[in-house]
């Protein structure tokens, strides 16, 4: 089997309810720069990464795919995923300009498309190719809620609805308001609303400094917060390590870490408890799996970051023993042939061959902004 065509695309899809905000981002569209890889035996694989739908930036990713990676892929066997990951990711000119960021996001999209082909060629969903099981229970917690741009009454209504009507057994809310006391008020109101038995997480999206995170984070235990996510600037290893020792609430991070080396550094100094590896930031399935194994070796759970890249993460969670919880953000959901679906608080295990990344033709026609 040989790769004969590499064709990038960029989906821009509206987020739920016009606009969402966390402490750091305010967005109305989600972006999925991705790639379609065709083979000489008629199989087609799809992979993508996630962005804030800023077209000039998204084009940096797709031009890396089209101009740098495509020539390295044409004629290769797409099933040789480890070899191709190395060939692209360690291609000296790429290694020189970007071991994370744009080139790495582009490599994610390519790697996922290759695994999609590999699973389609085997005639099984990716989770089965990776050794997973139909019996695996993957809990969903709702993150398409708790937004910082929502007033208190909407926050509370949505928390109640998530739990009582939609069946989620866990939810996450954003913190990082201009006045952190407002965050504690919102947290208190949400905990009262959902009662003591629902998992509740908070996410500061990297906003706070260490004193703020210690001062306010130490109150989170009063509300039985399961984890405090991205409290500090993403790369601040020593800060997270100090925070993990200073407060009782456990630390989650990883959605802005790009490499196995980044995760090793955080994990080995115990600066993280819930490992939020994201296969669309780490370079694909290949590097995600290495991080998940690393977490397993330290007896840490992987709570994969999803953004809204549920399709591929559901496959991984159904396979990897360290991962049994995933956030739920359905912005891209309708774009796919077999959309990730939650029932009674748990994800349904997908059945179609591949990585779950095959878009509907109509979605490509409607949302592809790469002309
Ligand atoms: C906006 N999940 C997150 C949104 C979300 C972000 O970038 O996607 O809040 O990915 O932090 O845990
Ligand atoms: Mg987050």
Predicted pLDDT of residue 16: 82
**Going by C-beta distance under 8 Å and a sequence separation of 6 or more, which residues neighbour residue 56?**
none
pLDDT of residue 307: 72
Give pLDDT, residue 308.
72
**So what's the pLDDT on residue 237?**
98
State the catalytic residue, choosing from 120, 174, 240, 320. Answer: 174
Cα 42 to ligand 2 centroid, rounded to whole Å: 38
What domains are there in the chain, each with its CATH number? 3-124+360-367 (3.30.390.10), 129-347 (3.20.20.120)
Active site residue 174: yes
- b/e code 20-52 from CB counts within 10 Å (16+ = b): bebbeeebebbbbbbbbbbbeeebbbbbbbbbb
- Residue nearest atom 8 in ligand 1 by C-alpha distance: 307
Instruction: Per residue of the chain (371 residues), give pLDDT as tens.
Output: 999 999 999 999 999 888 999 999 999 999 999 999 999 999 999 999 999 999 999 999 999 999 999 999 999 999 999 999 999 999 999 999 999 999 999 999 999 999 999 999 999 999 999 999 999 999 999 999 999 999 999 999 999 999 999 999 999 999 999 999 999 999 999 999 999 999 999 999 999 999 999 999 999 999 999 999 999 999 999 999 999 999 999 999 999 999 999 999 999 999 999 999 999 999 999 999 999 999 999 999 999 998 778 999 999 999 999 999 999 999 998 899 999 999 999 999 999 999 999 999 999 999 999 98
Q: How far is the CA of 229 from the centre of ligand 2 (A)?
A: 6
Which residues have C-beta within 8 Å of that of residue 75, sequence separation ≥ 6?
A: 2, 3
Contact of 187 with 202, CB cutoff 8 Å: yes
The pairing of strands 44-48 and 29-39 is: antiparallel
pLDDT at 338: 95
Q: Ligand 2 centre and the CA of 226: distance in Å?
A: 14
Q: Which of 12, 128, 273, 305 is labelled catalytic?
A: 305
**Residue 271 near residue 241, CB atoms below 8 Å:** yes
Two tokens at 7? Answer: 């064709």
Q: What is the DSSP letter of 13?
A: E
E strands present in 180-331: 199-203, 225-229, 250-253, 274-275, 325-328
CA atoms within 13 A on the CB side of 252: 25
pLDDT of residue 121: 98
Residues contacting ligand 1 via CB (< 6 Å): 22, 25, 27, 143, 203, 205, 255, 305, 307, 327
- For residue 204, the tally of other CB atoms under 10 A from its CB is 25
Nearest CA to ligand 1 atom 2: 307
């Amino acid at each position: 089997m040989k790769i004969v065509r590499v064709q990038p695309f960029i989906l821009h899809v509206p987020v739920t309810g016009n606009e969402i905000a966390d402490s750091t981002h305010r967005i109305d569209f989600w972006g999925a720069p991705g790639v379609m890889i065709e083979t000489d035996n008629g199989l087609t694989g799809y992979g993508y990464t996630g962005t804030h739908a800023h077209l000039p930036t998204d084009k940096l990713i797709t031009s890396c795919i089209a101009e740098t990676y495509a020539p390295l892929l044409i004629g290769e066997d797409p099933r040789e995923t480890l070899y191709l990951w190395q060939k692209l990711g360690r291609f000296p000119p790429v290694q020189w300009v970007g071991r994370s960021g744009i080139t790495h996001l582009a490599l994610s999209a390519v790697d996922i498309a290759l695994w999609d082909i590999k699973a389609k060629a085997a005639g099984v969903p990716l989770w089965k190719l990776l050794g997973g099981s139909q019996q695996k229970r993957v809990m969903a917690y709702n993150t398409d809620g708790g937004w910082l741009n929502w007033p208190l009454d909407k926050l509370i209504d949505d928390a109640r609805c998530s739990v009582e009507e939609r069946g989620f057994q866990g939810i996450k809310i954003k913190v990082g308001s201009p006045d952190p006391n407002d965050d504690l008020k919102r947290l208190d109101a949400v905990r009262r609303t959902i009662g003591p038995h629902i998992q509740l997480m908070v996410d500061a999206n990297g906003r706070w400094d260490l004193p703020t995170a210690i001062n306010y984070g130490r109150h989170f235990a009063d509300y039985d917060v399961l984890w405090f996510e991205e409290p500090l600037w993403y790369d601040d290893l020593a800060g997270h390590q100090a925070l993990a020792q200073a407060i009782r609430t456990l630390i989650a991070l990883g959605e802005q870490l790009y490499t196995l080396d980044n995760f090793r550094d955080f994990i080995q100094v115990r600066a993280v408890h819930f490992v939020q590896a994201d296969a669309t930031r780490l370079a694909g399935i290949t590097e995600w799996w290495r991080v998940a194994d690393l977490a397993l070796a330290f007896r840490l759970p992987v709570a994969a970051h999803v953004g809204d890249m549920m399709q591929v993460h559901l496959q991984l969670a159904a396979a990897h023993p360290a991962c049994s919880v995933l956030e739920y953000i359905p912005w891209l959901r309708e774009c796919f042939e077999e959309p990730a679906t939650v029932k009674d608080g748990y994800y349904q295990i997908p059945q179609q061959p591949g990585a779950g990344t095959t878009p509907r033709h109509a979605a490509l026609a409607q949302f592809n902004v790469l002309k």
